A and B are shown apart, each in its own frame.
Chain A
Amino acid sequence: EAQVTQNPRYLITVTGKKLTVTCSQNMNHEYMSWYRQDPGLGLRQIYYSMNVEVTDKGDVPEGYKVSRKEKRNFPLILESPSPNQTSLYFCASSLYGQGALRTNSPLHFGNGTRLTVT
């Protein structure tokens, strides 16, 4: 089954303790991205990747890191989590990468990771 898989679904941690949220897609998609969803603010893009070894900052990148060593995986790293990073996080992928502006390729989302930082 074609899907985007995020793990874990729920995570409770303490301030300053490094964590990684994994994301994997099995559709051979070039484009991958991370979003956070907060009440009243909608989905905001954290980082995105056009292809392997190519990553760019989204609208809210502060406090996050990503890497794209393989096409299928795009982990989100919080080196020193803080309470303001408590949120619902989504990973998503899309077929086309660089040069594909206006191809209107849809985003395929994972089921989310609910992170609480105390």
Chain B
Amino acid sequence: TQLLEQSPQFLSIQEGENLTVYCNSSSVFSSLQWYRQEPGEGPVLLVTVVTGGEVKKLKRLTFQFGDARKDSSLHITAAQPGDTGLYLCALQRGSSASGTYKYIFGTGTRLKVLA
């Protein structure tokens, strides 16, 4: 069972359109990170959301953390070909007692923006 479910899995849109991708979990999480991965490269952090209901903006990208902290969304306004890539959500999961933690990633949304 995947801890983090992302949807849609694939998305192909025309330049200028708006889109939203989702990251959902059955568990509450304390924070969530969003990464973007371009072809041939490793993922790069876009943003971290921490507070339930939080909204963060990064130019044309708007990130929202659900009030119950079980879901998050990424909205892109007026998509451009440069937005093409794999969008991944991730969280830290671990033990406060042991002090160890690991990262869990969602399956990703592969976005293609056509010129």
Chain A residues within 8 Å of B, Cβ to Cβ? 4, 33, 35, 40-45, 48, 50, 56, 58-59, 90, 92, 98-102, 104, 106-107, 109-112
Q: Return B93 CB to nearest CB of chain A, in Å.
A: 8
Which one of A33, A40, A106, A112 lies within 8 Å of B102 (CB-CB)? A33
Within 8 A of A (CB), among B42-95: 42-45, 48, 50, 88, 90, 92, 94-95
Of the four ranges (under 10, 10 to 19, 20 to 34, 35 or more), the interface on chain B belongs to 20 to 34
Chain B residues within 8 Å of A, Cβ to Cβ? 2, 9, 30-31, 33, 35, 40-45, 48, 50, 88, 90, 92, 94-96, 99-108
Closest-by-CB residue of B relative to A112 is B42
Q: When the two chains form their complex, are residues B101 and A43 in contact, meaning their CB atoms are under 8 A apart?
A: no
Which one of A45, A58, A90, A106 lies within 8 Å of B33 (CB-CB)? A106
Bound CA span A35–B96, Å: 23
Question: Which of chain A's residues have a CB closer than 8 A to the CB of B94?
Answer: 101
Q: When the two chains form their complex, are residues B92 and A101 in contact, meaning their CB atoms are under 8 A apart?
A: yes
Q: Return A68 CB to nearest CB of chain B, in Å.
A: 14
Q: When the two chains form their complex, are residues A112 and B41 in contact, meaning their CB atoms are under 8 A apart?
A: yes
Q: What 3 pairs between A and B have smallest CB-CB spacing?
A: A109-B42, A106-B45, A99-B99
Q: List 8 A-B contacts (CB under 8 A).
A: A40-B9, A42-B106, A45-B103, A58-B102, A59-B104, A90-B43, A102-B92, A107-B33
